[in-house]
Amino acid sequence: MYNYPDSTGHFGQFGGIYMAETLIPAVEELRDAYLHFRDDAEFKAEFANELKHYVGRPSPIYHAKNWSDRLGGAQIYLKREDLNHTGAHKINNAMGQALLAKRMGKKRVIAETGAGMHGVATATVAARYGMECVVYMGAEDIQRQAPNVYRMKLLGATVVPVESGSKTLKDACNEAIRDWVTNVESTFYIFGTAAGPHPYPMMVRDFQCVIGNEARVQMPEMIGRQPDAVIACVGGGSNAIGIFHPYIEIEGVRLIGVEAGGHGIASGSHAAPLTSNSKVGVLHGNRVYLMQDENGQIIETHSISAGLDYPGVGPEHCWLKDTGRAEYVAINDDEAMRAFHDLCRFEGIIPALESSHALAHAAKIAPTMRKDQVLLVNLSGRGDKDINTVARLSGITL
């Protein structure tokens, strides 16, 4: 029976609580509150109700038949997290944490964001529950995700540009942690991915498991069985763990996580700690595989997609890699772009650049498989936020 993390937040050697002393009591308070409310009937009922009526769940699964036919192999099915309110899976987790914040009496929420989807989701739930909201976002990401910055502002959030370091997601995390340590008693940190100090990797996973739990019911309804493989993109890894986790104990279903290969693993310019065999290290509260130099300094990552542009990965993915239950691969920027355009043209769906990495891997392996085999891809978000990036890369000025 798969039962991780242990009571101290470890997945084997991974995970844990690596935080400055000032924040340890806050993390423990959060852990105790989560352990209490996760089994609370009223909490569970409110969460389910919000997911149904506010987020719009369950999200459908769609058979991408045109694209599958063109690829000429396995059938590709898409779990449509892009159809959620706010356009990505991030709202599942933001909603769960906001409901917890409400019960803990926290009136102020903060978040880090890369692509902006988690920031938008957090700003949305903060508006919904009347909470003050501050979102930290790398200055470079603010440039490449301008529409999401304005969405957050429309929703009443304050967006703080982060100018330190590489000015991307990891630096936004640093700044959010600095805010939390300063305002620890009033503030709930709505962390966006299944990483960070315990209980975040467990809690975010649990809130995101609605994806896989639905798929486990939907696939047999559609095709009479479970898929041969489940494919999801991995930055921190919250959409992937959300769809993987309910499948861990279902034999015969391959779990494939797709990291951002950037300009290629060999170039060193990527964001793929698992695929590039990075060393284990400690950052942002947990022990994970981490892109770092020989002196233990975190190195700057590159990905076309801001949401995957992160040097670490959640501890449960590290564990699933080591145990062999999941496999991890990388997709380069240009392969992701091709999948992005193909899904637009052949299926009428504009996918997020993050999700396009998962799509690209499906497109890579589908032709090697039989036509009666099935790939379930988590289409974790929609790509409206990315049209400026795609246009720029195509030499077009909007």
Question: Catalytic residues, which ones?
Answer: 90, 112, 380
CA dist., res. 59 & res. 55, Å (int)? 9
Decide whether 167 or 357 has the Cβ nearer to other proteins.
Answer: 167
- Three-state SS string over the chain comes to CCCCCCCCCEECCEEEEECCHHHHHHHHHHHHHHHHHCCCHHHHHHHHHHHHHHHCCCCCEEECHHHHHHHCCCEEEEEEHHHCHHHECHHHHHHHHHHHHHHCCCCEEEEEECCCHHHHHHHHHHHHHCCEEEEEEEHHHHHHCHHHHHHHHHCCCEEEEECCCCCCHHHHHHHHHHHHHHCCCCEEECCCCCCCCCCHHHHHHHHHCHHHHHHHHHHHHHHCCCCCEEEEECCCCHHHHHHHHHHCCCCCCEEEEEEEEECCHHHCCCECCCCCCCCEEEECEEEEECCECCCCCECCCCCCCHHHCCCCCCHHHHHHHHHCCEEEEEEEHHHHHHHHHHHHHHHCCCECHHHHHHHHHHHHHHHHCCCCCEEEEEECEECHHHHHHHHHHCCCCC
Q: CB of 29: closest distance to other proteins in angstroms?
A: 9
Q: CB of 125: closest distance to other proteins in angstroms?
A: 25
Decide whether 223 or 280 has the Cβ nearer to other proteins.
Answer: 280
Q: 351, 232 in Cβ contact below 8 A?
A: no
Q: CB of 297: closest distance to other proteins in angstroms?
A: 4
Q: CB of 138: closest distance to other proteins in angstroms?
A: 13
CA dist., res. 61 & res. 233, Å (int)? 17
- Report the Cα–Cα distance between both ends of the chain, in Å, rounded: 53
Decide whether 17 or 71 has the Cβ nearer to other proteins.
Answer: 17
Alpha-carbon torsion (100, 174, 137, 314), positive or negative: negative
Decide whether 275 or 292 has the Cβ nearer to other proteins.
Answer: 292
- In 3D, which of 142, 192, 199, 245 has the Cα closest to residue 381? 192
Q: CB of 271: closest distance to other proteins in angstroms?
A: 15
Please state whether the peptide bond connecting residue 161 to the residue before it is cis, i.e. omega within 30 degrees of 0: no
CA dist., res. 180 & res. 195, Å (int)? 16
Decide whether 87 or 236 has the Cβ nearer to other proteins.
Answer: 236
Decide whether 227 or 311 has the Cβ nearer to other proteins.
Answer: 311
Decide whether 177 or 260 has the Cβ nearer to other proteins.
Answer: 177
Q: CB of 6: closest distance to other proteins in angstroms?
A: 12
Decide whether 200 or 207 has the Cβ nearer to other proteins.
Answer: 200
Q: 195, 314 in Cβ contact below 8 A?
A: yes
Binding site for other proteins (CB under 8 A): 8, 16-26, 164-165, 170-171, 173-174, 177-178, 181-185, 279-285, 287, 290, 292, 294-299
Q: CB of 98: closest distance to other proteins in angstroms?
A: 23
Q: CB of 103: closest distance to other proteins in angstroms?
A: 20
